[in-house]
Amino acid sequence: MTEEKKPQRKKIRATGEMNRIMADYFLELDQAAKTGDKKIAWCTSVGPAELLLAMGFLVYYPENHGAMLGSTRMAAELIPHANALGYSPDICSYLTSDIGSYVTGQTPLTKIFGIEKVPKPDVLVFNTNQCRDVKDWLAWYAREFKVPMLGIHTHRNPSGLNDTVISSVAKQMEEMVEPLEQISGNKFDIDELKKRVALSRECSALWKTVLDTAANVPSPLTFFDGTIHMGPAVVLRGNQQAVDYYKLLIAELEERVKNKEAAVEGERFRLYWEGMPIWGRLRAHSELFTSLQTCVLASTYCNSWIFTDFDPEDPFNSTAKAYTELFIVRGDDVKEQYMKRMIDHFKIDGIIYHDAKTCPNNSNNRYGMPQRLEKETGLPSLTINGDLNDMRLVSDEQTRTNVEAFIEQLEENR
Ligand code: SF4
């Protein structure tokens, strides 16, 4: 196949607007860190952002910074600096690359936005709904910056979610109000919390609409687009900017659907990605699948910022439920039911499991799930060994060979 004839992944026009609002978000944080005119809270990605926004904090997400360290391929050089401080190469490579970034004074924010360093926190807030690593990660910064750390300890891997579980999380959230009042100097206002929860709910519903466009054949969207365009849902939920952005993106995607424009030219196969993205190989993997006329179009990862339970009239309980119903928190029985619904909804031909060496929490191939799902659905799957940020754990040759063989298998099964 000549260079000109290679299938292409279609570019999204709205990307320019997304880059603009993301730049505004980081520049506002930088300004606040320099002037001290607004307090800054660091929050784990599915921590109680709405409460922090309602209390007047600007919210910064270290995991988002971790993903930037991965996608800019800075991580591998930085990880050893955290290892030298006693943080094992086997634990979360977001954590190790982020701490490495801090101790060496390097951040991708400099090259992308002209920001010298990450904004210093006034408070650190975690929720262990996703893993224990987030608490250990923020604890390092709590010692470094000598600022308070608050947190929610969520029950992990439940099958059913009963009132005991939800009310325990809601109560922990309510107990944060008093210390947050002291740190921020602002009085808690329930109406402001309701407003932030309503904005997050709207953002979440719009983000779901974005991802659901991929159920069309051909899909107007790829997983690789999703990993980029989820940025506003991650760092700007609870803010009007995210809502406005997703309306713009949806209009573009709906236009594609109407015109039957495929994200991957000549789409032949439709795959589901289960697990973390391999941030340092997003472009390479997008090109690999596109060259095989295969659209990886849906994922658990991008879906993780869909929170259907937010209810502004019951802000604490509904937020607790939204942040505890997450896929990553649940037992395998619930996860498998979820995967089956996704397979049907997105008309999936096969599943890619990413076994991320340093994130067992987001690697769902380790306890027999691929085998059980294949038995029940008949859908084949492929496991790719790799990592989210540590590209020393990725074998490009092996990935390419395995993916090509998997697509051949799908072809033979047709
Ligand atoms: S879920 Fe995985 S990638 Fe995310 S913070 Fe925890 S260990 Fe790191």
What is d(CA 65, CA 71) in angstroms, rounded to the nearest whole number? Answer: 10
And the tokens for 122? 């006034």
What global pTM score does this model have? Answer: 0.96
d(CA 210, CA 221): 8
How far apart are the CA of 275 and the centre of ligand 1, in A? 11
Strand partners, 43: 125
User: Could you give the CA distance from residue 315 to residue 198 in angstroms, rounded to a whole number?
Assistant: 9
C-alpha distances in angstroms, 317 versus 54, 202, 248, 413?
A: 16, 18, 31, 47
Return phi, psi of residue 172, to 5°. Answer: -60, -35
Q: Which of 45, 68, 133, 300 is the best mutation target for the ligand 1 pocket, counting ligand atoms within 8 Å of the beta carbon and taking the most? A: 133
Q: Are 122 and 150 a contacting pair, CB within 8 Å?
A: no
pLDDT value of residue 7? 82
**Most informative mutation of 61, 64, 88, 94 for ligand 1 (most atoms within 8 A of CB):** 94
pLDDT at residue 9, rounded to an integer:
83
Ligand 1 atom nearest to CA at 44: 5
Fold of 15-189: Rossmann fold (3.40.50)
Q: Which of 272, 280, 264, 291 is nearest to 370 (CA)?
A: 272
Buried b (16+ CB within 10 A) or exposed e, 304-317: bbbbebbbbeebbb
Helix, strand, coil distribution of the chain in percent, nearest 5: 55, 10, 35
What pLDDT score does 4 carry?
55
Distance 197 CA to ligand 1 centre (A): 24
Residue nearest to atom 8 of ligand 1 (CA): 92
Please tell me the distance from the alpha carbon of residue 303 to that of residue 301, in angstroms, as a whole number: 5
The DSSP string of 195-230 is: HHHHHHHHHHHHHHHHHHGGGSSS-S--HHHHHHHT
Report CA(43)–ligand 1 centroid distance (Å).
Answer: 13
The pLDDT of residue 6: 79
Query: From the CA of 210, how far away is ligand 1's center (Å)?
Result: 24
Cα(45) to ligand 1 centroid in Å equals: 10
Is 274 strand, coil or helix?
Answer: strand
Q: Give me 383's structure tokens.
A: 């496991």
Question: Residue 395 corresponds to which amino acid?
Answer: S
Residue nearest to atom 2 of ligand 1 (CA): 359
Q: Where in the chain is the domain with CATH 3.40.50.11890?
A: 15-189
Q: In 3D, which of 231, 258, 265, 277 has the Cα closest to residue 93?
A: 277
* Paired strand residues for 272: 298, 351
Q: How many angstroms is it from 357 CA to the middle of ligand 1?
A: 11
Which of 91, 92, 279, 388 for mutating ligand 1's site (highest number of atoms within 8 Å of CB)?
92
User: Quick one: which atom of ligand 1 is closest to the CA of 137?
Assistant: 5
Mutate-to-test residue for ligand 1 from 91, 95, 124, highest number of ligand atoms within 8 A of CB = 95
DSSP codes of every residue in 380-408 = -EEEEEE-SS-GGG--HHHHHHHHHHHHH
Q: Residues with Cβ < 8 Å from 45, sequence gap 6 or more?
A: 61, 63, 64, 130, 234
Spatial distance between the Cα atoms of 107 and 99, rounded to a whole number of angstroms? 11
What span, in angstroms and rounded, lies between the C-alpha atoms of 293 and 54? 46
Residue 329 DSSP one-character state: G
> Which ligand 1 atom sits nearest the alpha carbon of residue 276?
3
- Per-residue tens of pLDDT for the chain, all 414 residues: 444 567 888 899 999 999 999 999 999 999 999 999 999 999 999 999 999 999 999 999 999 999 999 999 999 999 999 999 999 999 999 999 999 999 999 999 999 999 999 999 999 999 999 999 999 999 999 999 999 999 999 998 888 888 999 999 999 999 999 999 999 999 999 999 999 999 999 999 999 999 999 999 999 999 999 999 999 999 999 999 999 999 999 999 999 999 999 999 999 999 999 999 999 999 999 999 999 999 999 999 999 999 989 999 999 999 999 999 999 999 999 999 999 999 999 999 999 999 999 999 999 999 999 999 999 999 999 999 999 999 999 999 999 999 999 999 999 988
Ligand 1 binding pocket (C-beta < 6 A) is: 63, 92, 94, 130-131, 133-134, 276, 359, 361-362, 388
Ligand 1: atom nearest CA of 328 is 1
Return phi, psi of residue 9, to 5°.
-95, 130
Return residue ranges of the chain for CATH 3.40.50.11900: 193-413
CA torsion through residues 62, 67, 71, 77, sign: positive
Q: What dotted CATH number matches 193-413?
A: 3.40.50.11900
Residue 160: predicted pLDDT: 82
DSSP lists the bridge partners of residue 269 as: 294
Ligand 1 atom closest to Cα of 93?
8
Separation in Å, CA 276 to CA 93, 129, 249: 12, 16, 23
End-to-end CA distance of the chain: 23
Q: How far is CA 108 from CA 64, 114, 154, in A?
A: 11, 9, 31
